[in-house]
Amino acid sequence: MKVLLVGVGGVGEAIAAIAKPHKWMELMVLADYNIKRAEEVQKKLGDAKRFPVEFIDASKQADIEALAKKYQVDLIMNSVDPVFNKQIFDAAYNVGATYMDMAMTLSEPHPTDPFSKTGVKLGDYQFEKAKDWEKKGLLALVGIGVEPGMADVFARYAADHLFDEIEEIGIRDGANITIEGYEFAPNFSIWTTIEECLNPPVIYEEDRGWFTTAPFSEPEVFDFPEIGPVEVVNVEHEEVLLVPRWVKTKRVTFKYGLGDQFIGVLKTLHMLGLDNKEKINVKGVQVAPRDVVAACLPDPAHLGDKMSGKTCAGTWVKGTKDGKKKEVYLYQVADNEECMKTWGCQAVVAQTAFSAVIAMDLLEHGQWKGVGVLGPEAFEPNAFMEKMADYGFPYGVREK
């Protein structure tokens, strides 16, 4: 397989590192706006032939298409902030390549009732073009990180094997990771974190369809394996938009353990307008406040040696089996020390990246097939879950 990797930040580096040992990965082009960053990753990988470096401006669709054609890639892997999704998605369609991302095209809140009704939903742009992809015989596999991604595979597995009827599917994410030397340092892209945490969270109910609520709503304490109890709150996330398309359930939610300090910082950024992703004039220079915030904070890709602890991602499912009530939590725990030792990448980005590589493996070997715009739950889940331990990310199941 030949892959154009658009974006070589923390997750992009982890994708390359996890893919490197596998012979089916013939070529992975490390393409980034920051050419020095791409060269840094190439040096760590120690294989310039299989991992060539290229400059790319992900805002320019023509540049993406040109690189894809130059290397005759089979697949374009989108590993940049989702503000660039439309042009990368459309570029893959134009050049006839398989497309994959870990976060779908962005939402836009309802203009008059944002905390009750949906406006433009996550992925709407992509799903509106699904028939075009089907007609062309092409596949766009959207939302194939850990959440969304692995969590969606778990939802499909639960529906296929563990339940007769599902009442609720709830994605629950928590961690006990600390970062030495910083009063505030996100372990994932602050751009993406602001987007998903300050947008109105979306919820799905069978009788209502998709609707929204206020940010940080409906707090609950969830007991995470190997971590313990963590308070989680509603956050906008792709699983809620993906799971009901293929898995029958009465309700879908996503809740994330942010912590009081993190929520406080996000609320302050919003209050000051520093979460704005649109450019404004600052002394004659056009800048987006959110980009300034990101530039002021440490790069998550370089925090691994200062991090300690574990992160847990998983899918809680409640329903019935053989006439009896049943609850399970299917999960994956990533330990930062182990991730740094094995791949040289911190736990949060490594856990996000591995699902994309497994999906590439399954597509390359014909175990996953499809055309159109599909989420992870559209595919048979067993093959994916059987490979998780082989890739160093074994899953667990906890009966509740």
pLDDT tens profile 56-79? 999 999 999 999 999 999 999 999
CATH of the domain at 228: 3.30.360.10
**Same-domain check for residues 228 and 79:** no
Q: In the predicted model, what is the mean pLDDT of the chain?
A: 94
Note the pLDDT of residue 2. Answer: 98
Q: According to the model, what pLDDT value does residue 374 have?
A: 98
Query: Are 246 and 377 contacting, i.e. CB atoms less than 8 angstroms apart?
Result: yes
Q: Is 379 a residue whose pLDDT tops 90?
A: yes
Angle between helices 85-95 and 61-71 (to 10 degrees): 40
The whole-angstrom separation of Cα 352 and Cα 173 is 12
pLDDT of res. 72: 98
What does the pLDDT look like over 305-319, one tens digit per residue?
888 999 999 999 999
Angle CA 46–50–52, to nearest 5: 85
Question: Is residue 257 a contact partner of residue 231, using CB atoms and an 8 Å limit?
Answer: yes
Domain termination site, one of 318, 347, 376: 347
268 shares a domain with 155: yes
Cα angle for residues 7, 12, 15 (degrees, 5° grid) = 145
Note whether 40 and 182 are same-domain residues: no
Q: Which residue has the higher pLDDT, 180 or 38?
A: 38
Q: Are residues 157 and 97 in the same domain?
A: no
Rg (CA), the chain: 20
Q: What is the dihedral of CA 254, 144, 135, 76, to 10 degrees?
A: 140
Q: Is residue 258 part of a domain?
A: yes
One domain for residues 320 and 221: yes
- Given pLDDT bands bounded at 50, 70 and 90, which one contains residue 258? confident
Pairing relationship of beta strands 2-6 and 27-32 according to DSSP bridges: parallel
Domain containing residue 45: CATH number: 3.40.50.720
- Whether 388 is in a domain gets the answer no
Looking at the structure of the chain, the number of domains it has is: 2
Q: Is 108 a domain residue?
A: no
Q: In this structure, is residue 37 part of a structural domain? A: yes
Are residues 244 and 160 part of one domain?
yes
Residue 377 lies in a domain: no
Whether residue 329 is contained in a domain is answered as yes
Do 183 and 308 sit in the same domain of this protein? yes
More confident residue, 285 or 139: 139
Residues 92, 160, single domain; the answer is no
| In a shared domain, residues 12 and 92 | yes
50 and 174 in a single domain? The answer is no
The whole-angstrom separation of Cα 59 and Cα 82 is 11
Q: How confident is the model at residue 341 (pLDDT cuts 50, 70, 90)?
A: very high
Q: What is the pLDDT of residue 180?
A: 87
- Owning domain of residue 30: 2-101
79 and 18 in one domain?
yes
Q: Is residue 307 in a domain?
A: yes
Are 92 and 158 in a shared domain?
no
pLDDT tens profile 345-378: 999 999 999 999 999 999 999 999 999 999 999 9
89 in any annotated domain: yes
Look at residue 351 in the predicted model and tell me its pLDDT: 95
pLDDT band at 399 (very low <50, low <70, confident <90, very high): very high
Categorize the per-residue pLDDT at 259 as very low, low, confident or very high, splitting at 50, 70 and 90: confident
- What integer pLDDT is reported at residue 260 of this predicted model? 83
- The tens digit of pLDDT for each residue in 143-180 reads 999 999 999 999 999 999 999 999 999 999 999 998 88
Q: In this structure, what token pair is assigned to residue 338?
A: 């182990």
